[in-house]
Chains A and B, each alone.
Chain A
Amino acid sequence: MSRAVPPTARGLTPLDPRRGGVRTDGRVRGWLAGIAVAVAVAACGSAEVEGDGEAAGEVSGELIVFATASLTDAFDGLSEAFVDANPDVEVVFNHAGSQTLASQINEGAPADVFASANLAQMEVVAGAGNLAGEAEVFTANLLEIAVEPGNPLGIGGLEDLADPDLVLVLPAEEVPAGQYAREALEAAGVGVTPASLERDVRAALSKVELGEADASIVYASDIVASDGRADGVAIPAEHNVVASYPIAVLGDAPNPAAGEAFVAFVLSGTGQDILAAHGFATP
């Protein structure tokens, strides 16, 4: 929890994806998140988490959050709860791919907070000297196997994807999710013959939702967002790949106080619970 990421290029190494203990069950994740935050408060007394209570109700004005596209649903929920606690704040989102957001920020777009889907794009912003302080990994996305509702083929794990009669589509390896999916298959020692390499993770998922493909490998949060049109089959921690999401207040933030309060809220127990409800994992 609250793993500090220095804004320098040096410190932005991905978390070890193979480390054990990351559970993929949503309910377990929910209370794990709570415990993790409690432990973080007790153990290291992170300033952001402590600031949560103080900041409540004390900030106002417009808060501009640049958040990666996969956070759209989760951050809608987060901002609702945040505005409940801080009624004088108006949260404005700009959602796009992390790479687009990073270049917009470095081109001078006014923003208070940046939440990226990977460490590399946070590093791009940090490298340009545009962070106010340190970036922190606030959540993570695990991979799941997307199957048709009810899992009619009884797919139990990555090894079942090797079946040549199975119609498997994967995100193309040019996009991060496709890269992660390959790493997971390699870790499990599974060779596959995909029918298609889709241009992004949502296109891959939609092929399963439409019934054209039997399975794909997507983010756990995508399964939650699919709202029953696809089911998720967990990938065990030793084969799974963790996509780490860092967040930071920006150096030129027009409203730094609200930015700090929002980041603290995201890292708080409430914030982590909301993220968990949208399928995200504790970092």
Chain B
Amino acid sequence: MSETTAPTTSGTAAGVAPPRSAVVLGLLGLTVLVLPLLGLTVRTPWGRFGALVTDPVVLQALRLSVVSSLAALAVSVVLGVPLALVFARYDFPGKPFVRALAVLPMVLPPVVGGVGLLAAFGRRGLVGRPLAEATGITLPFTPVAVVIAATFVAMPFLIVTVESGLRMVDRRLEDAAATLGADRWTILRRVVLPALWPSLAAGMALCWARALGEFGATITFAGNMPGRTQTMPLAVYLELERNPEAAYLISFILLAVSVAVLVALRDRFLHTT
């Protein structure tokens, strides 16, 4: 996450060109990455786009995915940005270990994450059992569980992006503000956050895209119920058996959103500060 170091590398192909073989292998790599997307585009039943996109299953999944991924993004910002601040500005014993734990969901198989969420928030879970006994509230199989699952897998993307952004913010500005009598809250609001904005935006975009695509933790922890917990990726998986055309269409919508997010991010990498 080094978008703020951009000024040293101009975007043009300066210097010595790489060997030809690198270009050939690179193109081969690009083919592997792009061909499935091309296949999906070709298979998408464009002629029936209107009919399929208003299909109740697709519509419900779309609505649930948008709402739950935005909710997960909101939770991630409220909890993840402060955590990134702690990681970037405080030193404490065992910090490397704690940071590793916090970003573990990025590399954890999502189904494992789902099993962990059940062990924590399930009816028999560490927190879930006392919660159920005290209030009668159980989380699995509810839209709240969808948001928790998405937050679990997506928040680390926001944390790492914001934390590395914070490390790039010039500490001297904060010191100057402090000398001028600004309190911590004012420094955060008036100095740190404005400087942090590009990486915060990038982190939010990554976090949202990851939440939107979440599958494994969701189906394990929240189950699959159309209109309640069946998000778009779950609908793709199950519709593939029954209604492949709808599955291709939902896949394409997810693909288009992801591409849009990544292209927007790419612009940031190249053009910000």
Q: Flag whether B140 is at the interface (Cβ < 8 A).
A: yes
Main secondary structure on A side of the interface with B: loop
CA distance A196 to B218 in the complex (A): 12
- A196→B114 CA distance, assembly (Å): 15
A212 touches B219 (CB 8 A): no
- Min CB gap B38→A, angstroms: 25
Q: Across the interface, do A210 and B242 meet the contact criterion of CB distance under 8 Å? A: no
- Chain B positions within 8 Å of A197 at CB level: 223-226, 238
CA distance A167 to B228 in the complex (A): 14
Query: Do B224 and A199 have beta carbons less than 8 Å apart?
Result: yes
Total number of residue pairs linking A and B with CB closer than 8 Å: 47
Q: A126 CB to closest chain B CB, in angstroms?
A: 23
Known: A194-B225, A196-B223, A197-B224. A174 touches B118 (CB 8 A): no
**B241, A174: Cβ atoms under 8 Å?**
yes
Q: Which single residue of chain A is at the shortest CB-CB distance from B242?
A: A174
Chain A residues lying within 8 Å of B124, measured Cβ to Cβ, are 210-212
Chain A residue at minimum C-beta to C-beta distance from B240: A174
B46 within 8 Å of A (CB atoms) = no
| A164-199 interface bits toward B, Cβ cutoff 8 Å, 1 = contact, 0 = none | 000101001011000000000000000000111111
Give Cα distance in the complex from A199 to B216, angstroms. 11
Decide: B122 and A196 in contact? CB cutoff 8 A.
Answer: no
A169 with B223: CB separation less than 8 A? yes
Q: Are the CB atoms of A195 and B122 closer together than 8 Å?
A: no
A212-B224 contact given A174-B241, A196-B229, CB 8 Å threshold: no
Residues of A within 8 A of B152 (CB): none
Interface residue? B208 (CB, 8 A): no
When the two chains form their complex, are residues A195 and B118 in contact, meaning their CB atoms are under 8 A apart?
Answer: no
Q: Which residue of the partner chain, among A174, A196, A199, A207, contacts B225 with CB atoms under 8 Å? A: A196
Smallest distance from the beta carbon of A170 to chain B beta carbons, Å?
A: 10
For the complex, count residues of A whose C-beta is within 8 A of B: 16
| Minimum Cβ distance to chain B for residue A51 (Å) | 39
Residues of A within 8 A of B223 (CB): 169, 195-198, 207
B122 close to A212 (CB less than 8 A): yes
Q: Which of A172, A196, A199, A210 sits near B141, CB closer than 8 Å?
A: A196
Residues of A within 8 A of B241 (CB): 174-175
**B224 lies within 8 A of A211 (CB):** no
Complex contact B237–A212 (CB within 8 A): no
Question: How does the 8 Å CB contact mask read for A206-225 relative to B, with 1 for contact and 0 for none?
Answer: 01001110000000000000
Contact A172 B118 (CB under 8 A): no
Q: Is the CB of B123 within 8 A of A199?
A: no
Partner of A199, one of B219, B226, B242: B219
Considering the complex, give the chain B residue whose CB is closest to the CB of A194: B225
Task: Give bound CA distance, A172 to B226, whole Å.
Answer: 11
| A212 contacts B118, C-beta separation under 8 Å | yes
Question: How far, in Å, is B93 (CB) from chain A's closest CB?
Answer: 35
Instruction: Please indicate which of the listed interface residues B141, B219, B222, B242 has the most CB atoms of chain A within 10 Å of its own CB.
Output: B141
- Cβ contacts A7-40/B at 8 Å (1 or 0 each): 0000000000000000000000000000000000
A211 touches B123 (CB 8 A): yes
In the docked arrangement, what's the CA distance between A195 and B138, Å?
Answer: 12
Residues of B within 8 A of A195 (CB): 140-141, 223, 225
Q: How far is the CA of A244 from the CA of B219 in the complex (A)?
A: 29
Report whether A212 and B123 are in contact in the complex, using a CB–CB cutoff of 8 Å.
yes
| Complex: A169 Cα to B140 Cα, angstroms | 11
- A-B contacts, 21 listed (Cβ < 8 Å): A167-B123, A169-B141, A169-B223, A174-B238, A174-B241, A174-B242, A195-B140, A195-B141, A196-B141, A196-B222, A196-B223, A196-B224, A196-B229, A197-B224, A197-B238, A199-B237, A203-B219, A207-B223, A211-B122, A211-B124, A212-B122
6 shortest interchain CB distances as A-B pairs: A196-B223, A174-B241, A195-B141, A211-B124, A212-B140, A196-B141
